[in-house]
């Protein structure tokens, strides 16, 4: 059911549930994405209820104008909601309205004239090539962990960095599917082939052999109790690691650091950034990452350009002279 603070027409409620099922079963969106999309639409229906003083219904949605959608967006901005969250909310609404149009229950494209809020240009957080390699060789991540947990984390981090896989893709892997070539189904059911390097395969084998749980017919990466591992757990551990290794030196006396806001996604960013820096063409990086649009991959060129500018300013004879 729609968990809303206002009444909803029954027919609209049923269509909402059908839309949620489509996101889950056909589009294969993550649990987190489905929850966010659903909440965005719920909040919109609550706004419509207050804005027009009318119970949300199919007929009411069909009568909405561009001005109504702008009022909704303005209301969110007035609440201090970020441009990124507003952009996602707009995507959620567009998805829901497209679904209603495909079901031939409404014929209203007013939302298409609403422009997505401009996002501040932020570069991905990545770890330097030297630091990520040092990090992957640490004898243990947390001294209190059993050895198999250290083996698990090392296998997972190595897999993410070697392949550029999304953390959700890695955590959905089944042990029986592990081979040199993996068929990954990413966002929007887009499929791609991922190659596992020998180092990743070896570390996965070390982890599987040391794990006390039977992994043969289930998920590859599990927690202490043998249940499927979740992204939140990995990100929480990485946040602690970032603080723990703020001034860490390896057994050879070499210092390294992890970036602020270190997360499981940092390995994917690092993978793409290092490929671009090493001269891999953008189309190839797009395929390896499973990006639908080349524009999503373009940001890694910006990262490389920024590094080049930093080197230029440091090494330019005029800069040295000044």
Cα separations in angstroms, 219 against 101, 226, 306: 38, 9, 39
Query: What is the Cα–Cα distance from 61 to 77, expressed in whole angstroms?
Result: 22
The active-site residue, picked from 152, 154, 265, 269, is 265
Catalytic entry in 187, 192, 230, 239: 187
265 as an active site residue: the answer is yes
Q: Which long-range contacts (CB under 8 A, 24 or more apart) does 294-301 make?
A: 297/272, 299/123, 299/124, 300/124, 300/272, 300/273, 300/275, 300/276, 301/276
268 is catalytic: yes
Structure token pair of residue 178? 């592990």
Go through 213-247 and write b for each residue having 16 or more CB atoms within 10 A of its CB, e for each that does not.
Answer: eebeeebbbbeeeeeebebeebbebbeebbeebee
Assign 95 to helix, strand or coil: helix
Q: Which of 166, 203, 269, 274 is an active site residue?
A: 166
What are residue 264's phi and psi, to 5 degrees? Answer: -60, -30
Residue 152 annotated in active site: no
Query: Phi/psi of residue 222, each to 5°?
Result: -130, 165
Helix ranges, the chain (H): 10-21, 31-52, 58-63, 66-78, 83-102, 129-135, 147-163, 167-171, 198-210, 231-244, 265-277, 282-289, 294-315, 317-321
Using CA atoms, how far apart are residues 10 and 23, in angstroms rounded to an integer?
20
Instruction: Compute how many other C-beta atoms are within 10 angstroms of the C-beta atom of residue 98.
Output: 14
Concerning whether 300 is annotated as a catalytic residue, the answer is yes
Residues known to be catalytic: 166, 187, 265, 268, 291, 300
């Amino acid at each position: 059911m729609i968990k809303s603070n206002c009444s909803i027409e029954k027919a609209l409620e049923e269509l909402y549930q059908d839309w949620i099922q489509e996101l889950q079963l056909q589009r294969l969106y993550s649990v987190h994405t489905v929850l966010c999309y659903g909440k965005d639409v719920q909040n919109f229906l609550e706004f419509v209820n207050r804005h027009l003083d009318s119970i949300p219904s199919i007929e009411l949605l069909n009568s909405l104008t561009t001005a109504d959608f702008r009022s909704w967006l303005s209301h969110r901005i007035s609440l201090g909601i970020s441009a990124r969250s507003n952009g996602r909310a707009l995507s959620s609404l567009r998805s829901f309205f497209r679904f209603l149009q495909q079901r031939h229950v409404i014929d209203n494209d007013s939302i298409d004239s609403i422009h997505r809020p401009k996002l501040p240009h932020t570069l991905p957080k990545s770890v330097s090539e030297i630091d990520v390699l040092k990090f992957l060789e640490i004898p243990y991540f947390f001294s209190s962990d059993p050895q198999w947990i250290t083996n698990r984390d090392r296998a997972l981090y190595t897999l993410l960095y070697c392949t550029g896989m999304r953390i959700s893709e890695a955590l959905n892997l089944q042990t029986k599917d592990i081979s040199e070539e993996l068929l990954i189904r990413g966002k929007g059911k887009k499929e791609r082939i991922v190659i596992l390097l020998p180092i990743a395969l070896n570390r996965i084998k070390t982890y599987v052999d040391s794990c006390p749980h039977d992994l043969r017919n289930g998920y590859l990466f599990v927690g202490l109790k043998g249940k499927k591992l979740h992204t939140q757990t990995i990100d929480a551990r990485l946040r602690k690691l970032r603080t723990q290794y703020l001034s860490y030196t390896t057994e050879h006396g070499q210092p390294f650091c992890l970036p602020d806001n270190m997360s499981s996604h940092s390995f994917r960013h690092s993978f793409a950034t290092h490929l671009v820096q090493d001269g891999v063409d953008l189309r190839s990086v797009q395929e390896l990452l499973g990006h639908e649009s080349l524009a999503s991959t373009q940001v890694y060129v910006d990262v490389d350009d920024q590094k080049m500018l930093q080197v230029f300013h440091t090494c330019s004879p005029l800069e040295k002279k000044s």
